[in-house]
C-alpha cells in the first residue's frame, strides 16, 4: 500500500526562495550588516549594482558598485542589462541582470541590497523573492547614524531622510523586518533567512 492515504492532499514541495532583497532607509546599516555577513560567510554572493553616484572615500569600482557615467547608465537600460533600476536621492542605481540570473540558475543564494522602488520591481518580476526590511531602532538613531557616517553633505542627508520617511512607511510590504540594533545579530538572522546556516 502506498504511504499516501486516500483523501489527503499531498504536501506541495518546499520551494526555498533563492533571491533575497535587503532594503531599508539610508544609514540604517545595510552595508555594515552585509559586510559583516560576508566576513563570516565569504561564499554568500551579493550583487554589485551600477550607479551614477560618485564613490565615497574608500569605495572601489567593481567592489561596492560599478561606478558609471549617465551615458553608460542610459546604455545599460537601453540594452536591457538591468534587472531593475531606480533613481534615489539624485542618482541612479541598477542591478545587472546577467550575474543574478547566472547565480540563480546555478542554484546559489543571491542577495540584493537595493532601495524600496527596486524591491517593489523585483517583487513584480520575481514573486518568489524574499523581501527583508532593515529597520532602525528609532528615528533619532537613524538620523545619528546617517549624520555620523560623515559621507554626505547636509543637503544630501536631508534628501535621504525625506526618502527614509517614505521607506519606513512601506515596511508592511516586506516579508520580514529585522531591527538593526546589533550588527552581529542581524547578520545571523539574515543568513538564516537565506538558508546559509
Ligand atoms: P546603509 O548602508 O544602510 O546606508 P551603513 O552601513 O553605511 O548604512 O551604516 C550607516 C552608519 O551606521 C555607519 O557609520 C555604520 O557604522 C553605523 N551602524 C551600522 N549598524 C549599526 C549598529 N547596529 N549600531 C550602531 N551603528 C551602526
Ligand atoms: P548609497 O548611495 O547609500 O550606496 O545607496 C543609496 C540607496 O540605493 C540605498 O537604499 C541602496 O540600497 C540603493 N541601491 C543600491 N544599489 C541599488 C540598485 O541596484 N537598485 C536599486 N533600486 N537601489 C539600489
pLDDT confidence bin for 197, thresholds 50/70/90 = confident
- pLDDT score recorded for residue 18: 83
Fold type of domain 48-107: Guanylate Kinase phosphate binding domain (3.30.63)
173-196 mean pLDDT: 96
For residue range 37-74, what is the model confidence (pLDDT) as tens digits? 999 999 899 999 999 999 999 999 999 999 999 999 99
For residue 3, pLDDT beyond 50: no
How far away, in angstroms, is 155 Cα from ligand 2 center?
18
User: Which residue's CA is minimally distant from atom 5 of ligand 2?
Assistant: 26
Task: Please check if 94 is assigned to a binding site.
Answer: no
| Ligand nearest the Cα atom of residue 22 | 2
Task: Please check if 27 is assigned to a binding site.
Answer: yes
- pLDDT score recorded for residue 107: 87
Does the C-beta of 115 come closer than 6 Å to ligand 2?
A: yes
- The answer to whether 71 and 78 are in contact (CB under 8 A) is no
Atom of ligand 2 nearest to the CA of 160: 6
- The answer to whether 22 and 134 are in contact (CB under 8 A) is yes
pLDDT confidence bin for 1, thresholds 50/70/90 = very low
pLDDT confidence bin for 196, thresholds 50/70/90 = confident
User: Which residue's CA is minimally distant from atom 17 of ligand 2?
Assistant: 114
User: Beta-carbon neighbour count of residue 153 at 10 Å?
Assistant: 8
For residue range 91-144, what is the model confidence (pLDDT) as tens digits? 999 999 999 999 998 889 999 999 999 999 999 999 999 999 999 999 999 999
Which CATH number, 3.40.50.300, 3.40.1210.10, 3.30.590.20, 3.30.70.20, labels domain 18-44+109-197?
Answer: 3.40.50.300
For residue 157, pLDDT beyond 90: yes
Cell of residue 188, nine digits: 545571523
Domain parsing of the chain, residue ranges: 18-44+109-197, 48-107
For residue 20, pLDDT beyond 50: yes
- pLDDT score recorded for residue 2: 42
The predicted model scores a pTM of 0.92
How far away, in angstroms, is 114 Cα from ligand 2 center?
5
Does the C-beta of 118 come closer than 6 Å to ligand 2?
A: yes
Contacts of 1 (CB under 8 A, 6+ apart): none
**For the chain, what percent of residues have pLDDT higher than 70?**
91
- pLDDT score recorded for residue 6: 57
Does the C-beta of 53 come closer than 6 Å to ligand 2?
A: yes
Does the C-beta of 52 come closer than 6 Å to ligand 2?
A: no
Task: Please check if 7 is assigned to a binding site.
Answer: no
17-24 mean pLDDT: 90
| Calpha distance 167→177 (Å, rounded) | 12
Residues with CB under 6 A from ligand 1: 24, 26-32, 145, 148-149, 180-183
Amino acid at each position: 500500500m502506498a504511504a499516501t492515504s486516500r483523501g489527503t492532499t499531498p504536501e506541495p514541495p518546499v520551494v526555498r526562495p533563492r533571491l533575497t532583497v535587503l532594503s531599508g532607509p539610508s544609514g540604517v546599516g545595510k552595508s555594515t550588516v552585509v559586510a559583516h555577513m560576508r566576513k563570516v560567510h565569504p561564499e554568500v554572493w551579493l550583487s554589485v549594482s551600477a550607479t551614477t553616484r560618485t564613490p565615497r572615500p574608500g569605495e572601489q569600482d567593481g567592489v561596492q558598485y560599478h561606478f558609471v557615467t549617465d551615458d553608460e547608465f542610459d546604455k545599460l537600460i537601453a540594452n536591457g542589462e538591468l534587472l531593475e533600476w531606480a533613481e534615489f536621492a539624485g542618482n541612479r542605481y541598477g542591478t545587472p541582470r546577467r550575474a543574478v540570473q547566472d547565480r540563480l540558475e546555478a542554484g546559489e543564494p543571491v542577495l540584493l541590497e537595493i532601495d524600496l522602488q527596486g524591491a517593489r520591481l523585483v517583487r513584480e518580476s520575481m514573486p518568489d523573492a524574499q523581501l527583508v526590511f532593515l529597520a532602525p531602532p528609532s528615528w533619532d538613531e537613524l538620523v545619528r547614524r546617517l549624520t555620523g557616517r560623515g559621507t554626505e553633505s547636509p543637503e544630501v542627508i536631508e534628501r535621504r531622510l525625506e526618502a527614509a520617511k517614505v521607506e519606513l512607511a512601506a515596511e508592511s510590504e516586506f516579508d520580514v523586518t529585522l531591527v538593526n540594533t546589533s550588527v552581529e545579530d542581524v547578520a545571523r538572522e539574515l543568513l538564516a533567512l537565506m538558508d546559509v546556516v
